[in-house]
């Protein structure tokens, strides 16, 4: 069953602009993760935020987590054409490490 749901489904921005992608989920989580996928390739792990954390940074990436609203956002600052990809949020619930993914967001960054 789908746990994470990303919003918007597609996003097109100009190079240099910031990109904000949102994810909502349904049940309590242990952690939430964001992945990136270039067309037809495997997923690359970007960042993980634990349920007791509210914000994390990694380079140009900033992730926030609001457990009261069951939502997360991924911000990519100063976007580049090379950031064009699909982005997925995924959640880990329960005692196991099983990841459940959303459908993903297609980000296009125009040069």
Partner 1 sequence: ETGVTQTPRHLVMGMTNKKSLKCEQHLGHNAMYWYKQSAKKPLELMFVYNFKEQTENNSVPSRFSPECPNSSHLFLHLHTLQPEDSALYLCASSQTGQGSGYTFGSGTRLTVV
Binding mask 45-64 for partner 1 (x = CB under 8 A): x--x-x--------------
How near is the Cβ of 95 to partner 1 at its closest, in Å? 9
Strand runs labelled E in the chain: 5-7, 10-14, 19-24, 31-37, 43-50, 55-58, 61-66, 71-76, 85-92, 99-101, 105-110
By CB under 8 A, which span of 20-28, 65-73, 77-85, 102-110 interacts with partner 1?
102-110
Q: Is 87 a residue that touches partner 1 (CB under 8 A)?
A: no
Residue 71's nearest CA partner among 29, 9, 13 is 29
Q: Is 79 a residue that touches partner 1 (CB under 8 A)?
A: no
Residue 72's nearest CA partner among 28, 25, 18 is 25
Q: Write out the residues near partner 1 by the rule CB under 8 A.
A: 2, 30-31, 33, 35, 40-45, 48, 50, 88, 92, 96-104
């Amino acid at each position: 069953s789908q746990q994470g749901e990303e919003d918007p489904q597609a996003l097109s921005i100009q190079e240099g602009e910031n990109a904000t992608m949102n994810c909502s989920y349904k049940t309590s989580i242990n952690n939430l993760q964001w992945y990136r996928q270039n067309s037809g390739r495997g997923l690359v792990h970007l960042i993980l935020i634990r349920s007791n954390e509210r914000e994390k940074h990694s380079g140009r990436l900033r992730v926030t987590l609001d457990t009261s609203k069951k939502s997360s956002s991924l911000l990519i600052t100063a976007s580049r054409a090379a950031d064009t990809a699909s982005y997925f949020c995924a959640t880990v619930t329960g005692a196991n490490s099983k990841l459940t993914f959303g459908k993903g967001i297609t980000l296009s960054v125009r040069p």
